[in-house]
Amino acid sequence: MNTMEHTALRPARPAPDAGDSLRDNCYVTAMSHFYRGEVGRIMVWRQRLDLTTTWAITSTTTIITVAFSFRDIPHLIFFFNLLIVWMMLWIEARRYRFYDAFRGRVRMLESHFLVAMVARNPSLLGGDWQKLVCEDLILPSFKISKLEAVGRRLKRNYVFIFAIIIVAWMTKVFMHANPPITSWSSFYDALAVGELPGWLVGVVLLVTVLSSAFLCWYAASRSDGEITDLRGSHREQWRI
């Protein structure tokens, strides 16, 4: 009997059972270390996110303190404050895309592997999640676009920083205007700084407000919250 005939007569190997994975100590140990490593990785990227937010808050508080400490400093200083915060937002959005990419692996392991372990239900190991994780390990990819990343960070943190800057900007204009503001025309004149016309300052403020509102709406429409608000009797069960 030749090799081809011997292969054809060989009985087919049964498909592996999903429960075998939970009973394989080597597999469970490897997945546990893999999960721990991915959690450590996203924590590092999480710290980097907090760092850029701290830079934005620190620069904003410093500029506000200087602007209100000296009357002769023009309110144009808040324009540079906006540029700094927008730059920090762009850097943080880029870091957030890396954080979200690795967080996707962690959520995949939690949803499909850890849930099956806790529930002791091997059937929960089914699906294509193992294939998706393997493909992402071979060719890592981002899970969200740059615009969505900017919108998420803006919605959660930076929209409040922009609001504080605009409020401080307008307060500076009204407090240190010379002559004092008594009408819309005098307010328009107070917005001008040297050769910089008032309409340009108004456009910068309007663009900041509209772009922030659009990005927040875009992020809210493209993604759902990961944490669910528990209601009813089920919520009472989590009181420790």
**Average pLDDT score over residue span 13-40:** 74
Q: What percentage of the chain exceeds 90 in pLDDT?
A: 20
Per-residue pLDDT at 94: 92
Tens digit of pLDDT for each residue in 72-82?
Answer: 888 888 888 98
pLDDT band at 64 (very low <50, low <70, confident <90, very high): very high
pTM recorded for the entire structure? 0.76
- SS3 annotation, the chain: CCHHHHHHHCCCCCCCCHHHHHHCHHHHHHHHHHHHHHHHHHHHHHHHHHHHHHHHHHHHHHHHHHHHHCCCCCCCHHHHHHHHHHHHHHHHHHHHHHHHHHHHHHHHHHHHHHHHHHHCCHHHHCCCHHHHHHHHHHCCCCCCCHHHHHHHHHHHHHHHHHHHHHHHHHHHHHHCCCCCCCCHHHHHHHHCECCECHHHHHHHHHHHHHHHHHHHHHHHHHCCCCCCCCCCHHHHCCCC
Tens digit of pLDDT for each residue in 149-171?
Answer: 888 898 888 999 999 998 998 88
Tens digit of pLDDT for each residue in 202-211?
Answer: 888 888 888 8
